[in-house]
Chains A and B, each alone.
Chain A
């Protein structure tokens, strides 16, 4: 079992819809969490950090549930430009290793 697991998708959703991604992690020692976005044939780029109290950045909302070891990302009013792969990432250990999920592919349809 991978330490950080995501639904691989792809999620095909119409423009304007709300889409939710889920991510689970198995190592309770994980300290911090992040969502990254990766466009086709490009490097990953930080979308947002995930805070225990939940946090919002425009149309994006991230939630963390440490008891259930579960992280979510909600995208409201999806745009065509949101089409990408979304990577869930945890940080743990004395060397602050980043552990990457395999990513969930999102395709927004006009």
Chain B
């Protein structure tokens, strides 16, 4: 009964380093997404996927890559970390369709880029 599992919970990176935030869900949801949350900004969509092999950009995609090789996994890659990417990242999944009330979040990843 894991739901959405997101790792790591905390990470400190140096500018220019790369890393991958992992996200996995066990609910067979078609729709998965990554958000970042900054103070006073609410959740902003980075990338999303409506199924395996399909990804698309959200509101703030620059500096991030995603892939969806399986229904379960949706990793987020930071290619060359910048201080502006210091934020809290949330992975989420839900069934495709008009389902804003059935979204499941991971517990968040706190990323600091120095």
Contact = CB atoms under 8 A, between A and B. Distances in A.
Interface of A: 2, 4, 8, 31-34, 41-46, 49, 87, 89, 91, 95-98, 100-103
B108 A41 contact: yes
Interface of B: 31, 35, 40-45, 48, 50, 56, 90, 96-101, 103, 105-108
Contact of B100 (A8, A41, A96, A101): A96
Contact of A43 (B96, B97, B98, B108): B108
Nearest to A43: B105
Contacts of B107: 42-43
Contacts of B108: 41-43
B42 A103 contact: yes
A45 B105 CA distance: 8
Nearest to A101: B42
A4 B44 CA distance: 12
A34 B100 contact: yes
A32 B42 CA distance: 18
Given A43-B90, A43-B107, A95-B50, A32 B40 contact: no
Contacts of A33: 100
Contacts of B99: 96
Contacts of A91: 98, 100
Contacts of A89: 100
A4 B86 CA distance: 24
Contact of A87 (B31, B40, B43, B98): B43
